[in-house]
């Protein structure tokens, strides 16, 4: 991908993912928005927009085998970790401490992949379980600046190809590893690693299993009670 990154900034849009999908040509396209009114999260959830947030989507034509696309959210998470100094919860959350500060959603159609990211920059009254990166509003330009840095990071990492996506680096950044987890509908075990295709390796009483992010709806840290 020796093509430049085109950038479109919108003051308001329903979904940067939809905008990126409809506007992209042959070159990778990054769409950012100061305000997103209809952002969506994984498994159909609505993304709640913080007072100041990064709302952005990267559309790129990625001629990878279909079975390799499962690592795209993890690669995008690594780009976010480098951009925002956050850690990662498998498969698509950005966290600081125990709180979620952002998330990633990937949609694909043939070789067109659209990667959406939302990050809370400033949020004086966040919803339960969420947090923001800054205690003061970083200003109008921060959202776009962070988005472009993430987009360039993401393209550089995707350019390595699906066999050199950064598995070891992801394992070092992933807070899920080493914890007891549960997942729907009734799974439980200890997360011990990430495989080469981005699956979460879990030890269970019945043996080792690998969770596929496309098949698992919710992964939670098991209650200590």
Among residues 170, 190, 210, the one where a domain terminates is: 170
Total domains present in the chain: 2
The 10 Å Cβ neighbour count of residue 45 is: 11
CB-based contacts of 191: which residues, under 8 Å, 6+ apart? Answer: 90, 176, 177, 178, 179, 181, 200, 201, 202
- For residues 197 and 13, give the distance between their C-alpha atoms in angstroms, rounded to a whole number: 33
Kindly state whether residues 131 and 184 are assigned to the same domain. no
Q: How far is CA 117 from the centre of its chain?
A: 6
pLDDT value, residue 214: 76
Kindly state whether residues 137 and 39 are assigned to the same domain. yes
Kindly state whether residues 23 and 124 are assigned to the same domain. yes
Kindly state whether residues 115 and 67 are assigned to the same domain. yes
Q: Which residues form the domain of 83?
A: 6-170
Kindly state whether residues 143 and 90 are assigned to the same domain. yes
Residue 107, SS3 per DSSP: strand
Asked, for residue 11, whether it belongs to a domain, the answer is yes
Kindly state whether residues 156 and 200 are assigned to the same domain. no
Q: In what order do the strands lie in the sheet with 200-204?
A: 207-211, 200-204, 187-194, 180-183, 219-221
pLDDT means per 10 residues, the chain with 225 residues, are: 79 96 96 88 67 97 95 98 97 95 96 97 95 96 96 96 97 97 92 97 96 81 62
pTM over 0.85: yes
* Whether the Cβ atoms of residue 115 and residue 121 lie closer than 8 Å to each other: no
Kindly state whether residues 158 and 186 are assigned to the same domain. no
Kindly state whether residues 136 and 32 are assigned to the same domain. yes
State the alpha helices, DSSP H only, in 93-218: 140-158, 167-173
CATH assignment at residue 202:
2.30.30.100
Half-sphere exposure for 43 (CA within 13 Å, toward CB): 11
- The closest of 114, 143, 117, 122 to 10, measured between CA atoms, is 143
Asked, for residue 93, whether it belongs to a domain, the answer is yes
- For residues 76 and 154, give the distance between their C-alpha atoms in angstroms, rounded to a whole number: 6
CATH assignment at residue 25:
3.30.930.10
For residues 107, 113, 114, 120, the Cα torsion angle rounded to the nearest 10 degrees is: 80
Kindly state whether residues 99 and 121 are assigned to the same domain. yes
Kindly state whether residues 194 and 161 are assigned to the same domain. no
Kindly state whether residues 109 and 153 are assigned to the same domain. yes
Asked, for residue 188, whether it belongs to a domain, the answer is yes
Asked, for residue 107, whether it belongs to a domain, the answer is yes
């Amino acid at each position: 991908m020796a093509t430049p990154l085109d950038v479109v900034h919108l003051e308001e849009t329903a979904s940067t993912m939809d905008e990126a999908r409809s506007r992209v040509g042959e070159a990778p396209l990054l769409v950012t928005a100061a305000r997103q009114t209809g952002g969506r999260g994984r498994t159909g959830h609505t993304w709640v927009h913080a007072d100041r947030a990064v709302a952005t989507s990267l559309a790129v034509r990625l001629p990878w085998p279909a079975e390799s696309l499962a690592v795209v959210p993890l690669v995008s998470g690594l780009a976010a970790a480098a951009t925002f100094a956050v850690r990662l919860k498998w498969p698509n959350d950005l966290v600081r401490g125990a709180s979620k500060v952002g998330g990633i959603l990937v949609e694909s159609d043939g070789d067109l992949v659209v990667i959406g990211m939302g990050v809370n920059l400033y949020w004086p009254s966040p919803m339960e379980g969420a947090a923001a990166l800054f205690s003061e509003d970083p200003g109008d330009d921060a959202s776009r600046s962070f988005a472009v840095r993430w987009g360039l990071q993401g393209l550089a990492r995707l350019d390595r190809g699906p066999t050199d996506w950064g598995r070891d680096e992801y394992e070092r950044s992933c807070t899920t590893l080493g914890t007891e987890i549960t997942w729907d509908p009734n799974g439980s075990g200890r997360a011990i690693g990430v495989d080469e295709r981005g699956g979460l390796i879990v030890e269970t009483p019945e043996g080792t299993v690998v969770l596929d992010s496309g098949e698992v709806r919710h992964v939670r840290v098991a209650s200590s009670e």
